[in-house]
């Protein structure tokens, strides 16, 4: 199975390396120092469930260098989505599928502006990872599940077979991917907002009584917004959220918090900012998400800006 990882950061690098380890023909679309390091020294994964080293990887800044593939896994940062989606053409053949594992709820709409909508399949994961240094990914934990739509699609079935052979990946095709995407959106917006604003891993936040109240307020505001948008959370959501957060090692932060610390652009506009926008649209009060959005907006473009 030929796979193109559109993005080789924390999630793209980790998932792509695990798929290559399992026998997939994986190419990475990357850029800058990370791309140069991958070309020169391969790709390293540090993981509590087992390290991976790929001494030789197929990596390029241009999709034309890779050519048509069976599966594109789209994992670029949300602020790079339009440009990345517009460059997908050389990767696409008749049966190619594009699975997006981005944050937020806007990925499918963005991709469908640039490629045929029937090729786009929504997906979500709770894996956590980041670039420790160029050419090296740190797998920081999180649940190993990858949820995808297209449960009857032959490309997705082949993808599942490959994941079944992998270490640390569990593909779960579902019939209702919209429900999964909204549940992740509510969960991640709270997690990202809290760990970014409080500059802390999730463990100390859950242990501190005041910080714990704040992250729960973020969660509850998201639930109210989702219900108003026609995507109410299923029964037991609060329990599932706590299980996911408690499954993370205490030091784990969101990718947005890691990017904030490193002076990189952050996805706040698509997370707490989107909650704020939807709250205004539906008449739902979102004081906690609005505070996160406004406090972090100053840093949205990164330190270089």
Q: 199 and 295 share a domain?
A: yes
Q: Is residue 83 part of a domain?
A: yes
Half-sphere CA count of 200, side-chain side, radius 13 A? 15
Q: Which of 180, 126, 121, 109 is nearest to 154 (CA)?
A: 121
Average pLDDT, 10 consecutive residues per value, the chain (305 residues): 96 97 97 96 94 96 98 96 97 96 95 95 92 93 88 95 95 94 96 97 97 98 98 94 87 91 96 98 98 97 79
**pLDDT at residue 48 in the model:** 87
Does residue 80 contact residue 173 with C-beta atoms inside 8 Å?
A: no
What CATH number should be reported for the domain holding residue 46?
3.40.50.720
Residues 16, 63, single domain; the answer is yes
CATH code of the domain in which 294 resides? 1.10.1040.10
Determine the pLDDT at residue 126. 87
Residue 305 lies in a domain: no
Report the alpha-carbon distance of residue 262 to residue 69 in Å, rounded: 33
Residues 20 and 159 in one domain: yes
pLDDT on residue 222 = 98
Residues 8 and 54 in one domain: yes
Same domain (yes/no): 223, 161: no
In this structure, are 123 and 237 located in the same domain?
Answer: no
Strand-by-strand arrangement of the 25-29 sheet: 58-60, 25-29, 2-6, 71-74, 97-100, 120-125, 145-148, 170-173
Owning domain of residue 266: 179-299
pLDDT recorded at residue 129? 87
Task: Classify residue 152: in a domain, yes or no.
Answer: yes
Task: Write out the two tokens for 288.
Answer: 């906690």
Tell me which H or E stretch contains 19: helix 10-21
pLDDT of residue 269: 97
Q: How many domains does the chain have?
A: 2
What's the Rg (C-alpha) of the chain? 18
Domain end point (choices 113, 140, 175): 175
Tell me what pLDDT residue 304 has.
Answer: 66
- Residue 25 lies inside a defined structural domain of this protein: yes
């Amino acid at each position: 199975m030929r796979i193109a990882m559109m993005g080789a950061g924390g999630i793209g690098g980790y998932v792509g390396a695990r798929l290559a380890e399992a026998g997939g023909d994986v190419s990475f679309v990357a850029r800058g120092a990370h791309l140069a390091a991958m070309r020169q020294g391969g790709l390293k994964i540090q993981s509590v469930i087992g390290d991976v080293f790929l001494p030789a990887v197929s990596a390029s800044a241009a999709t034309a260098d890779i050519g048509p593939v069976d599966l594109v896994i789209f994992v670029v940062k949300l602020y790079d989505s339009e440009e990345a989606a517009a460059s997908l053409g050389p990767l696409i053949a008749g049966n190619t599928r594009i699975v997006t594992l981005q944050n937020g709820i806007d990925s499918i709409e963005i991709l469908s502006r640039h490629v045929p909508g029937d090729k786009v399949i929504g997906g979500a994961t709770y894996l956590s990872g980041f670039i420790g240094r160029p050419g090296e990914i740190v797998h920081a934990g999180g649940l190993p599940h990858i949820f995808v739509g297209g449960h009857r699609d032959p490309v997705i079935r082949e993808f599942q077979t490959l994941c079944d052979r992998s270490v640390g990946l569990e593909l779960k095709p579902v019939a209702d991917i919209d429900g999964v995407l909204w549940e992740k959106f509510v969960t991640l917006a709270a997690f990202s907002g809290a760990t970014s604003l409080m500059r802390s891993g999730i463990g100390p936040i859950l242990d501190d009584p005041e910080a714990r109240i704040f992250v729960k307020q973020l969660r509850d505001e998201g639930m109210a917004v989702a219900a108003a948008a026609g995507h109410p959370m299923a029964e037991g959501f609060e329990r599932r959220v706590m299980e996911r957060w408690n499954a993370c090692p205490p030091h784990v932060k969101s990718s947005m918090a890691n990017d904030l610390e490193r002076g990189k652009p952050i996805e706040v506009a698509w997370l707490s900012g989107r909650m704020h926008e939807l709250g205004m649209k539906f008449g739902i009060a979102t004081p906690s998400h609005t505070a996160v959005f406004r406090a972090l907006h100053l840093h949205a473009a990164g330190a270089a800006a």
